[in-house]
Structure 1
Amino acid sequence: MDTSVDTTSTINYEYLISDLCDPTGVNDFSRQVLPPLYYMIFIVSVVGNGVVLFIMYKFEKLSTVTNIFLINLVVSNVVFTFTLPFQAVYHSDEWIFGEALCKLVNSAYYLGFYSSILFLTLMTFDRYLAVVHCVVSSKRRRGCYAVLLSAIVWCISLVASLELFIHFTVEEDQISGLTCKDSSEGRWKVFGLYKQFVFFFIFPLAVFVYCYARIIVRVISTRIVGKHRTVRLVFVIVLMFFACWSPYNIILLINENKDKKDCDDSLDYALRITSNIARLYFCINPIFFTFLGKKFQNHVRRLLEDKVSCLKQYNSYSGSSRSLA
């Protein structure tokens, strides 16, 4: 009898240890830093992606394989971006939008996240085909090919994000008030974590490394001058993606496997910081498209010259001066 009492006391003590962790510091950090950061990312991302779409509509042929993938990538970024104002309001106080929007906002967040990863992977593989297998791929890389693959990407992303729609729910917390959180436990929680890590991080990384290794070898061996700029642009975009998302995935795995009785909140701070570094990618992405691509630079220049007449005269004068020199 005495032994059973001691065991119960131990169990209660362990429960209290895990329950004594004070999230006040992390919550205060989130309340002060995250809402203005989310609003900034939202504005920059909407403007940046809007500029990319407008320039493509005005100057580009939208039915090419590359542009179909690019349009879908921008759309996936926008889907993700429009969840940020909800997150900003949530982190400034509590979740006030109800159960339905809790599920929709978080599933849309991951729908944009997953589809963006897959479209980047698809664009990388498409560049690999265009450079390494240019003769064969020129016959097969048609608009219908791009539309079909884009539809498959959206279907996979929708199915992957459906789990979040099912498990996210609104709960009452004594400290934080109404929270919108993932209620999955046990195997579902582990499955969701490793699904994201393996299929949306490791797999794209493997495709990325293989394709660009082959592309670099091909470009160096054949000295293809015209392909360098396109290859460099996509390479930088994909590299930035993994630079932004790698720390978050690593911290997520460490946090999931830590001792639940450990009240050290450094991992909580790291999760919030790395997840927001990852979110920054979605506003950096269109900036790279616009300012690193030579073709996009020319389109922006033409657009500005059409709107500002003195700029056109200045560019003409600069061009004639360079030619005389």
Structure 2
Amino acid sequence: MESTASDYDYPHENNDEKLVELCSTDGENLLGAQLSTIYYFMFLFSLFGNGLVLVIIHRFEKLTTVTNILLLNLVVSSLMFMSSLPFVGVYKQLSYWIFGEVMCKIVGSVYYLGLYSSVLFLTLLTFDRHLAVVYSLRASQVRNQRYALLSCAVVWLVSGLACIPKMILHKTFSTLIDNKMFCQEHPGNTTSVDDKLRASGFYLQLFLFLLFPLIVIVYCYVRIAITVISSKIVTKFKTVRLIFVIVLLFFICWTPFNIVELIHDDDDDDDDPVIPSCDEKKKRGYAREVTHDIAYIYFCISPIFYTFVGKKFQSYFRQLLVKRFPGLKKHISVSQVSRTNMSTKSTQKSLELS
């Protein structure tokens, strides 16, 4: 959740300290308010796109396969994250929080739970593709429904535990100037517990949700590329192409966001002897607004890749269109893919989306 309050020095317990305006964030707030108008379109588009993926999986596929179970959880985590955007959009446009303290906690928790779980599910999908391609024979004994459900449970558990510091720190407060309510990590005086929670959140995001996924994904795709090139099996290359594009797109969108977030968290560290200038803070504030929106775009456009890049999903989507609008049948080529032709055995050996 982004900060929208102006950056003022809040009252300290020591009344002898002079209150000083540190650096106004009006320009950053104005940019955030202007960009936030697209949040509502992002939410609606994501709702439609991810909903379409859910309909196609339910209508044409089977949830007994590892890939479909992981994809289903990834879609749920994406929808969870996107559900927070309308609240964030209203918050940024009004520049104060109107939904109360309980909703502040809920929206903040859903925001980070969707963010963290999406990162881990993408990492898990990549690792699963690595097992299926590099260790195709031995992996078939491990990659079963129980393995998929247990992996998803672990991801949700880890993501939920990682949200605890953010959920505790996220709270409503009012400024002394205009008594408006804000919803964020309180920028005023903090206790030693708050500092420890903020530090734990900083290192969790750095190591568990940025470096760890990046290392795992790079390693897995290097191994996949070596296997595909050495085997010269074109069909295997096609099966990993879609998730490779999705993961690459994810890190293009999310890496700038994480870097700016980590810089921002580091700036908030009271023990840091280097204090950035006001101009530097403003530049980082603008960068934060832009990288946030780039990151949000990922959740909107990823359903397009699910739906239109994979050949199976293209076929399923055309079938849905023709069934809903029969007049399109003469304009759309539909290749029927029956359930009987998709045995559980074959779907476990190949990626469901290709």
Do Structure 1 and Structure 2 share a fold, with TM-score over 0.5? Answer: yes
Q: Give 1:313's aligned residue.
A: 330
Q: Give 1:208's aligned residue.
A: 217
Does the 8 Å CA contact 1:65/1:146 hold for their aligned counterparts?
A: yes
Which of the pair has more CA radius of gyration?
Answer: 1
Measure how far apart 1:191 and its partner are: 2.2
From 288, 300, 303, the equivalent of 1:283 is: 300
Normalised by the length of structure 1, the TM-score is 0.88
Deviations 1:20-61 (A, max 9, x none): 311222122222221x12111101110100000001111111
Map 1:172-251 → 2, pairs under 5 A: 172-173=174-175, 174=177, 177-183=180-186, 185-251=194-260
Between the aligned partners of 1:117 and 1:261, the Cα distance in structure 2 is 30
Matched letter for residue 71 of structure 2: L
Between the aligned partners of 2:333 and 2:66, the Cα distance in structure 1 is 34
Gaps of 5+ in 2: 1-15, 268-273, 336-354
Matched letter for residue 284 of structure 2: L
Q: Which protein has the bigger helix share?
A: 1
Is 2:65 the counterpart of 1:48? no
Matched letter for residue 297 of structure 1: Q
Is 2:291 the counterpart of 1:274? yes
CA RMSD of aligned residues (A): 2.0
The 1:122–1:317 alpha-carbon spacing in structure 2 relative to 1, beyond 3 Å, is closer
Measure how far apart 1:305 and its partner are: 1.9
The 1:169–1:262 alpha-carbon spacing in structure 2 relative to 1, beyond 3 Å, is same
The 1:186–1:166 alpha-carbon spacing in structure 2 relative to 1, beyond 3 Å, is closer
Measure how far apart 1:89 and its partner are: 1.3
Matched letter for residue 166 of structure 1: I
Does the 8 Å CA contact 1:130/1:138 hold for their aligned counterparts?
A: yes
Is 2:59 the counterpart of 1:58? yes
Is 2:86 the counterpart of 1:69? no
Normalised by the length of structure 2, the TM-score is 0.81
Gaps of 5+ in 1: 1-10, 319-325
Q: SS where residue 95 of structure 1 aligns? A: coil
From 162, 165, 168, the equivalent of 1:166 is: 168
Between the aligned partners of 1:260 and 1:96, the Cα distance in structure 2 is 33
**Stretch of structure 1 that moved more, 169-178 or 299-308:** 169-178
Does the 8 Å CA contact 2:318/2:334 hold for their aligned counterparts?
A: no
Q: SS where residue 92 of structure 1 aligns? A: helix
Q: SS where residue 235 of structure 2 aligns? A: coil
Measure how far apart 1:270 and its partner are: 0.5
Between the aligned partners of 1:143 and 1:210, the Cα distance in structure 2 is 25
Between the aligned partners of 2:285 and 2:223, the Cα distance in structure 1 is 39
Does the 8 Å CA contact 2:170/2:183 hold for their aligned counterparts?
A: yes
